[in-house]
Amino acid sequence: MNWLDIAAIDDIPLRGARVIKTPLGCVALFRTAMAEVFAVSDRCPHKGGPLSEGIVHGQRVTCPLHNWVFDLNTGQAQGADEGQIATYPVRVEGGRVLLDTVALGKKSAA
């Protein structure tokens, strides 16, 4: 893995998101109420909605356009919806958020 320092954890609000732009598209960084950090594609596969503008609840995010719910661990749509978003390895060290650029290069983000 090749870890890239991309943000301070405090740059991501609790139960909120920030977007980073990559050559493959936008990646949404989510921070849960428990201060867990997840990195996923910022684009909903249903209608292309910006997931970074969705509602974070537990370890899930709800798309702001049509209420599709995605598990931030697996990227899998929840409930009756079918679909999946890309997920990327992320970790927090010393208050900094690190993203695995090798995994990012192997998947299409948005």
What's the rounded Cα separation, in Å, for the pair 43 and 100? 19
What's the rounded Cα separation, in Å, for the pair 78 and 26? 22
Confidence of residue 101 (pLDDT cuts 50, 70, 90): confident
**Residue 58 corresponds to which tokens in the numbers above?**
């537990």
pLDDT digits (tens, 9 = 90+) for 58-93: 999 999 998 999 999 999 998 766 789 999 999 999
pLDDT digits (tens, 9 = 90+) for 1-26: 799 999 999 999 999 999 999 887 89
pTM for this predicted structure:
0.89
What is the full DSSP assignment across 48-72? Answer: --BGGGSEEETTEEE-TTT--EEET
Q: Report the chain's terminal Cα–Cα distance, integer Å.
A: 21
Confidence of residue 109 (pLDDT cuts 50, 70, 90): very low
Domain 3-106 has CATH 2.102.10.10: yes
Q: Where are the domains of the chain?
A: 3-106
What's the rounded Cα separation, in Å, for the pair 14 and 23? 27
pLDDT, mean of residues 36-42: 97
Confidence of residue 106 (pLDDT cuts 50, 70, 90): low
